[in-house]
Structure formats: structure tokens, C-alpha cells
Structure 1
Amino acid sequence: MLVDSHCHLDFPDFEAERDAVVARARENGVGHMVTISTRVRRFDTIRAIAERYDDVTCSIGTHPHSAGEEDGIPVEEIVRLAAHPKVVAIGEAGLDYHYDKAPRDAQMRGFRTHIAAARITGLPLVIHARAADEDVAAVLTEEMAKGPFKALLHCFSSGPELARTSLALGLYVSFSGILTFNRSEDIRAIAAEVPLDRLLVETDAPYLAPVPHRGKRNEPAFVRHTADVLAKAKGVTPAAIAEATTANFFRLFSKAPTPATPTGA
């Protein structure tokens, strides 16, 4: 069994065939999917999708691209919405200096607000980090000193220093289809150094389809290709990666029901 720890089933790319996408994931051994929030103000939509499927849960949060649009959402609102039984994580939130679609000060405020929500709820924070390694590391180090919280770096594409800092702080690291790209030798080298008990896999679907589907719309069923490449990077079997990443997921996302437990959806 594999878990797709990060996808976006609410995006328009899946509107016409969401049931089929979820069914294909199941057929390919994906036992659980987390559909990730990018806007708090659209939570009703993502919640409804999670409620539709027993093996889908969701998060609550504002993507850094939307940090300007949703600047000022109080931590209390995120915490309140996170009480829903289908919400298993906070975010995704963080810093993106590559696209800079939102003012950096708004991104920073949002990042810290989501960290506070993760600390209060005990749910893991899903961190988006792009071209902002130093600031992300600094915020995590500072905030962790104020009080512990659970978190993971999703869709890892940063440098080794952010990986080392995050691991030292107790974070997990999740790899996407980027790991399978021909020019991702550096990312595979970092993946090889991440302890087996801190690894997760994801699709970030509909984006970043792994080889051999690169250039196509991504979907949760394709997470197995990333897991296979991760196994090669770690020098272990695909079965060992499936077992480890699934165990890691349910340890970190402890609110998520295991497949043997009814979800009530």
C-alpha cells in the first residue's frame, strides 16, 4: 500500500472524472490520499470532496501564492475549521520567492499563523518552500524554539542545507515526481540521505507527473513511480519504501484513519 500525501482533487483538472481518478488510485495500490487546501475561503469545496470518499482526507490552509488574498485570516479560524474529522493537516503554507505571487511580508505572516495553528491543533504543517531556503530554515528554527510542532517539507526541491536543518528539527520530507526527472540527480542524492523513517511520497497532482507520464496531467495513481525511484535512491526494495512511507504517513498524520478503520464518510 502507498499513500499520496499531497494532491489537489478539488482542482478543475479533475472535475469531469474525479470518481475515476480515485478509483484508479485504489487500483494502483494507493490506500489513502490527502487533498490539500490552498485557500481557507474555499474550504467548503475541499471538505465536500474529502467527505465523499472513505480514503480521502484534507487539510486547511492558505498557499503562499494566495497569502495576499487571504492575509489576516486569524489562527482561531484555521483551528476551528481543523476540528472537522476529515481535516488531518494544516496548510499548505510557507514561502515561495520563485513566483512571488504574493507580497513576501504577507507570505511570512501566513507562514507563522499556520505554524501557530499546527502547534495548537497538533496537526502536521504542510510546508511549501521554493527559492526561499534560508528564510524557511530561519523561521522553522525560531518557531520550533517557541514550542514544538509537527511538519513536513512537501514536494522537496530545495537544497541540502534546508533538508538537514529540517531533519534536525524533527520534520519529515516528502518527494514528488520531481524525483524521477532526468536532471534531478541532486534531489535524488538528498533523498538518499534522508532517514527511512522520515520519508513520504506524494504527487502534488495535477502537477509534476513523474516519468513515464511527464508532461501529462498527474494523478494519485502515479505516486508509485515516485516510490519506485525513491527505492532506488535509498537502495531498498519498492516494498520496503511502500511500507516505510505508509507507516511514516500515519505516524505524522495521526488523525488520518488507517484503512482498517471506518472513516464514517
Structure 2
Amino acid sequence: GELMESATIEVRFKQTGETISVPVSSTSTMKDIIKYLQPSTHETDASHESNAVLCTTQSNTEGDSTPAISPTSSDTLKHYPMSELPKGFERWTQEDIRGSLEMILKKPKSDVLCMIYCASPSSSANTEQIKWLLKECMSKQIFCALVCTNKWAGSREQRDAVMKDFQRLLEDRHPKTREENDVIYFGNMGLCTAVNSERFIIQELNIILQPSGIDELILGIMQSLDDEKLAQWCMLAFENKSFWKNLISSYCDKKCGQKVHIPPYHPIYDGHIHLNQVATKIQSDFISLKAIPAIREYHFVNNNHKPDEWSALNSFHFPPHVHIYPTIGIHPKYFDPQDVYKILDNLQNHLEISHHTSNPKNKIVAVGECGLDETAMTTIDHQLFVLEKQIDLANRFHLPIVIHCRGPHLYQKLFDCLKSRISEKKFPLHWHCINSNSNLHTIDLFLNQYPNSYIGLNGSITYGKNTEKFHKFENWLINRSPFLSERLIFETDYPYLSPENLHGKYDPPTALIATAMYLSKAITDSEENTYSYIHSSNINIKSMYNL
């Protein structure tokens, strides 16, 4: 029914019994309420929050005057820490504006990176209020972006009028410094631009205008922030694959055409590594981790697949920009059948302790690697028994599974074992080390059976060139290129399987980039490149291991 000017809806969750109060107003929609209830999927530290402040105006025409101008080109802000000021901004006084900003700034450990003001060509924007807004933001060193949204919706005259108002308002605060890619900059104080975040169709002329300006806006803000805020802005924009891919492609096209640049501050995730195997070599091999000052963060999923490694899960000492996430499991080559029950009890105890610990650094993120191996000294029946018990433990503790399989004839047997023990189609699975020796038919079945599953690609994809198996595998990758980025995880398996195109020391992050380079060159007709594949893999690893 109709709401008063403002009200509160009590929402109760059936499963947990939790009740949440949702503030609503006469302009609220169901989308607004759902957006409020969905938690951010990108919180890295609950005690520290980075925000962009979004200010919008009402439209004089039908439709939404404010498509998403946050670090995404979709129509939602839900994945980003974005503080949206209440509706009805055009009726606000200067005190209202000041009070709302101060309310956001008073949050414990809260940073406001920028303010984004949106007005469409047909909106009821009030320049006097924008003056107040700019004054309040700039007095608090908050970068200001004035954005003309839905730029194709109005006439050219209306769009130009909005942009002229924006320029004049910013010039009152700081002289214009440059204009680039349809973005006008005013020092490190602000910018203005026009965007359209969704496809716009002019029916009578049968013309389709594609989205434009969003990537340029995100980049413009990025180029204008100081180093500290720049790093936080990059994290806000982390999951916008389209932006990063377009940015790196554009940069490379202008510079060298190789498309292998990995921007500073962008993290690298290695989905499968064995640090316990080479504790003495880590200091000499991990060259990229020694850069001072550190230009990016590194994340390693460390597989502890030998029972004698479990007592030293968190014994590594790395600098703060290096993060280790342990898995624990029984590799089919590394168990004695006579001790199997004792080993399984020990595994269960470790998982039980991890399950109840409140310290995230001590959390085990997956069970594995585990599976079947034709080179193991134990029988396949023994291996299947141990694999089944580990699948059951993963189910019990709600943990993903890392799968190992050596021997093409064992792939179907392992897949049948998974199907018999895992009924939940969305169960997260990482089939490690897929290459030209893999049974690719079974891998296709696996990917279809479990839509939340991933395949691990490492340096072994560069082995065995000029063989029939190698060309078959390469064609398999090419044929699956339309969805490959959504299902791949880059891994090194360090200290094993260094790529053939890597020379010198086996530095895992360098090896991972070398593998991504090889993949991007093998799939020549793809829109992907080295950087975009790495970015996709990062997102997939975070999803797979709930990082």
C-alpha cells in the first residue's frame, strides 16, 4: 500500500529467525529493499570501510535517471561499499547536506574516497545545492565527480547544458587542468563527464547506442586520487572485469601491444602451491615478493597433502602483503594403508579445530588435494576408500575439495565417486592440474555436473608441444574459450611444473603470469588477454575458497 514520507519495514529471515529493520520512504522500490538486505561480498576488513558517496536527482521523464555510476557497469550497487544519500536531495538545505556527510564520516574507521553526483539531461538539478555539496566535500578533501547520466535520453542541448553547469561549478573551485576521453579534470579536486551505463535504443530510427563513459569515469577517479585512496578505489573496482580488461587492452595498444601488463595494486592469487615442500628455498625463489616497496598483494592456497605436514600449517613468516590459506588432505601417493584409520582420525581432528576457531589465519579453506593416482604404491581400492572418507569430511564441515588425478583411465572412476558422494550440484570443486594428459571428455562431464567447479591450469599446459595430445588439448581450450575465464583457476603447483617459457628461478607469481601469457597466445581469437585471464582466476579462487 501507500507509505508515509518515511517508515520502517521489519524483515524476518525464516532460517535464522533474525530480524532486520529496513528504512523505506515513499520513493522506495522492492529493488531498494532487496539491495539493503544483501550484504556486501567485498568486505576485506569489517573494522575499516571505504565508501563512495552517491548523490542523485529525480528525473522529469519516465525511467531511472541514475544508472549505476559506482565501480561497475551493471545496474546495481550491492557489491560495493557505496553510501547512497537519501532521496529528495533537490529539497535539501545546506545543513542537510553537511549533516549527511558528517554522519557517514563519523562511522568508525570510515574513509570516503569520493563523491559522485548524478543528474540526467532531464533532471531537476539545482546548481545552488551542488555548490553547497562541492563546498562541503572539498573542505573535507573528498574528490568530487559530477556525472551527466543517461546522456542519450535527452536532447544534445539538454546534455550540453548540464555539462556546462558542471564545468562552471567546478571551475569556481579549481581551474580546469585537462580534458581526456570526454572527461574534464579540475586538478585533484574534481572532474565531470557524461555516461550511459545501459544500451539505449531509438526505436523510430532503429539506432542502438552502446554503453559508454563508465570505464572512463572509473579511470578518471583512479587517476585523480592520492596513493592511499587509489589502492582503496582499486579494491572497490576489483570485480569489475570489463573495466580492467578494457583498461589494460587500451594501455597495451598504446604502449607495446603485448597485453601482459599487470597494474600495480592488482593482487595475484595462486590457487595451488606446496610451500611445505621447499621451506628452505622460499627465500631465494620468491623474488617478486621482495620488491620494496610492495606494489601488490599475493595470495597463496597452500596444499598440505602429506599427513606429516599437518603439524606445521601456519609456520611461515611472510611480510604483511603475502597471505597464505591452508588446505589439508591425503594425497593418494602419501599414505600407508595400515595407518589409514589413524590418519583419517588425525585429519578429522584438524578440521574440527579449524571449524571452531575464530581466528581466520588458522582456518583451513579446503580438503585436499585428494584423489586417484596410477603411480601410487597403494591399490586403487585403497585410494578410493580414502578419497570417499575425505569427501564425507568435506561435506560434514562444508569445505571445498581439491581433486588430484593421474592416469587418464582413472578420471571416470574418480568422477563416478564424486557423483555418488556429492548430491549438491553447487558444491565447490577444484580439479587440479588439467593438461594434455587429462581425460578431457570426463572434465567436460565434471564441469557440466557441478556448475561451481573449476579446473586448475599450471605450467604443465606448456609441455609436449608438437604432439597429437598437445594439439587436441589446445583445440579443447580454444573451443571452450567463450566460458573458460569463468571456470579456470591459475595455479603453479610450486615447486613442481614450472612452465617451459619461464627461464631462471622458479618464482611462483612470475610462473603464473607465464602460464597466463601462454594461454592468451594459444587462444588467439579470444577477447581475453594475459591480464584479464589473471583477473578472472583471482575472482574464481576467491569464490572457490570463500576468501
Q: Same fold (TM over 0.5)?
A: yes
2:331 maps to which residue? 63
CA RMSD for the aligned pairs?
A: 2.7
Which of 426, 442, 457 aligns to 1:162? It is 442
Q: Which amino acid aligns with 1:67?
A: F
How far apart are residue 188 of structure 1 and its match? 2.9
* Secondary structure in structure 2 of the residue aligned to 1:57: strand
Counterpart position of 2:473: 187
Call closer, same or farther: CA 1:249–1:20 in 2, change over 3 Å.
Answer: same
Partner SS for 1:48: coil
SS of the residue 1:189 aligns to:
helix
- Mapped pair 1:240 → 2:532: yes
Question: Which digits, 9 at most, give the CA deviation of each residue in 1:98-130, with x for residues without a partner?
Answer: x12222222111111121122222221110011
Do the aligned partners of 1:32 and 1:56 also contact (CA within 8 Å) in 2? Answer: yes
Do the aligned residues in 2 keep the contact of 1:166 with 1:172 (CA within 8 Å)? Answer: no
- Structure 2 partner of 1:45: 312
Equivalent in 489, 497, 501 of residue 200 of structure 1:
489
Moved more, 76-85 or 125-134: 76-85
- Tell me what 1:32 maps to: 299
Residue number in structure 2 paired with 1:108: 384
User: 1:23 Cα shift?
Assistant: 4.8
Cα deviation code 1:112-167 (max 9, x no counterpart): 11211222222211100111112111111212237863211001131211211210
Which of 25-34 and 163-172 deviates more?
25-34
Counterpart of 2:365 (choices 88, 110, 131) is: 88
Partner of 2:269: 3
Could you report, residue by residue, the CA deviation over 1:59-115 in whole angstroms, capped at 9, with x for unpaired residues? 111111013355221363353254363421111100012x12222222111111121
Q: Relative to structure 1, is the Cα distance of residues 205 and 130 closer, same or farther in structure 2, using a 3 angstrom cutoff?
A: same
Question: Does residue 178 of the first structure (1) align with residue 178 of the second (2)?
Answer: no
Q: Note if contact 1:33-1:220 (Cα within 8 Å) is conserved in structure 2.
A: no
1:227 to 516, 537, 544: 516
CA displacement 1:20-68 (0-9 Å, x = unmatched): 4345257596721111111234212233137886411111111110133
Given that 1:203 and 1:220 are in contact with CA atoms closer than 8 Å, whether structure 2 keeps it comes out as yes
Contact 1:122 1:150 in 2 (8 A): no
Q: Which has the larger radius of gyration?
A: 2
Indicate the SS of the match to 1:100: coil
2:391 pairs with 1:121: no
C-alpha distance in 2 between matches for 1:61 and 1:100 = 16
Q: State the match for 1:262 in structure 2.
A: none
Contact kept? 1:144, 1:169, Cα under 8 Å: no
In the other structure, the counterpart of 1:260 is: none
Aligned with 1:145 (options 423, 434, 442): 423
Helix, strand or coil at the partner of 1:162 = helix
Q: 1:19 to 1:42 in 2, by over 3 A?
A: same
Runs of at least 5 residues in structure 2 that lack an aligned partner in the other structure: 1-266
User: Helix, strand or coil: the match of 2:419?
Assistant: helix
**Are the structure 2 counterparts of residues 185 and 58 from structure 1 closer, same or farther at C-alpha, using a change threshold of 3 Å?**
farther
8 A contact 1:155–1:175 mirrored in 2: yes
User: CA–CA distance in 2 between the matches of 1:50 and 1:108?
Assistant: 36
Map 1:203-218; keep pairs closer than 5 Å. 203-213=492-502, 218=506
Please say which of residues 192-201 and 153-162 is displaced more in the overlay: 192-201
Instruction: Choose between structure 1 and 2 for higher RCO, CA contacts under 8 A separated by at least 6 residues.
Output: 1
Compared with structure 1, are the counterparts of its residues 29 and 94 closer, same or farther at alpha carbon in structure 2 (3 Å cutoff)? farther
SS of residue in 2 equivalent to 1:79: helix
Contact 1:61–1:78 at 8 Å: present in 2 too? no
Percent identity over paired residues: 22
**Residue aligning to 2:141:** none
Q: What amino acid is the match of 2:272?
A: H
Shift of 1:229: 1.7
More helix by share: 1
**Compared with structure 1, are the counterparts of its residues 154 and 217 closer, same or farther at alpha carbon in structure 2 (3 Å cutoff)?**
farther
- 2-structure distance, mates of 1:115, 1:104: 16
Distance 2:395 2:319 in 1: 28
Q: How many angstroms apart in 2 are the aligned matches of 1:133 and 1:64? A: 14
SS at match of 1:49: coil
Contact 2:454/2:488 (8 A) holds in 1 = yes
Aligned residues: 251
> Which of residues 18, 24, 31 in structure 1 aligns to 2:282?
18
Q: Distance in 2 between matches of 1:112 and 1:249?
A: 24
Whether the 8 Å contact between 1:124 and 1:253 is mirrored in structure 2 is yes
Alpha carbons 1:203, 1:218 under 8 Å: kept: no
TM-score (norm 2): 0.42
Unaligned runs of at least 5 residues, structure 1: 257-265
